Amino acid sequence: MENDVTANIGVIGGSGLYELFAPGTADEIDVPTPFGATSSPITVGTMAGKRVAFLTRHGREHSVAPHRINHRANLWALRSLGVRAIVSSSAVGGLHPDYAPGTFVVTDQLIDRTWGRADTFFEDAVQHLSFADPFDPVLRRAAVEAVAGLDVPFRPTGTCVVIQGPRFSTRAESVWLREAGGHTINMTMTPEVPLAAELGIGTVNLSFVTDADAGLAPTEDEAAAEAPVSHAMVMERLARANEVIVRAIGSIVAAVPDDYTPRELVPAAASASVMAVGA
C-alpha cells in the first residue's frame, strides 16, 4: 500500500481524546491493512511544527472496547505512513498514594495482565522482542522535560498494570496489584507498546490519572478514599482535563529530537517483512 501522506510522529489518543487538530487543518485518510480496519480514520496534520498522524484508540464514538482494539492494524497503518515515534495518551487509575487523580505520569514500566489478545506480528517465525524497558529512553527523557515545564501534578516514572477489561477492578484486586508494584492501572497499553516495538517504532506514554481505581487503593485511610471508579467519572474528568492533555502532548511532540532514531528491538529485516505483507 502506498500513500502520499506521510508523518514521522504518531499520536494515539486514549479515552476522551478523539480529535487533535482544528477542523479543516488535517488530511483524513483510511489506511487499509493486512490485519483489518483501524480503530478510526487517521488524520495527518501539523502540531508543534511537525507532521503528526493521529489515531484515536477507542474510535471517535468510544465504540471499541479495550479487549477488541485492533492494535495490529493501528500500528501497521501508522508505520506505513512513515511513523517512527509514537506519543500515546492514556487514562489510568491510581493504585498508589503518590499517583492521585489529576496527576500526569510518563510511564516507564508495564505489568501485563491481559490475555487472548493478538500480541505479536510474528505468529509463524519466532522473534523474541527485547522488552526490559518498554518505552524508548530518548523519547521518555524528552517527555519528562516537556511535561515538567507545564506546572501540572507530575510523576516522571510509573509502573502501569494492564488488565483485560472492560470491567474495573475489585477492591481486593486493586490492593493486590498495588502490592505487586503497580502505580497505575489501564486496559490498553499492551499489546500496543510491544507491537509498536516489533515494527521499529519507539513509544512514549503520557498517562492522566482519572480516579482511585476501586476506591481504596490510593490510601489506607478508608474515610479519605474516593468513591470507586465508574465510566462516567472517568469521562467527566477527562473532559475537564482535555485542554491540558492536548497541550502536554504538543509539548512532547515538540521535544522529539529531529534526528530521532528508534531502538532496534527485533531485527530491522523482520520488521520490514511485516510491513511488506501489505505492500
Residues classed as catalytic: 211, 213
User: How open is the CA angle 196-156-198, to the nearest 5 degrees?
Assistant: 10
Give phi and psi for 133, each to the nearest 5.
-120, 95
Query: CA 34 to CA 74: how far, in whole Å?
Result: 11
Burial class (CB in 10 A: 0-12, 13-18, 19+), 230: exposed
Encode 109-169 in three state secondary structure: EEEEECCCCCCCCCCCCCCCCCCCCCCCHHHHHHHHHHHHCCCCCEECCCEEEEECCCCCC
Task: Determine contact, residues 185/95, Cβ cutoff 8 Å.
Answer: yes
Query: CA 256 to CA 265: how far, in whole Å?
Result: 20
How many CB atoms are located within 10 Å of the residue 124 CB?
A: 4
Q: Is 260 helix (H, G, I), strand (E, B) or coil?
A: coil
Our measurement of the distance from residue 9's CA atom to the centroid of its chain's CA atoms, rounded to an integer in Å, reads 13
Q: Tell me the one-letter amino acid at 63.
A: S
Using DSSP bridges, classify how beta strands 184-186 and 85-94 pair: parallel, antiparallel or unpaired: antiparallel
What DSSP element (H or E) covers 9?
strand 9-13
What DSSP element (H or E) covers 173?
helix 171-179
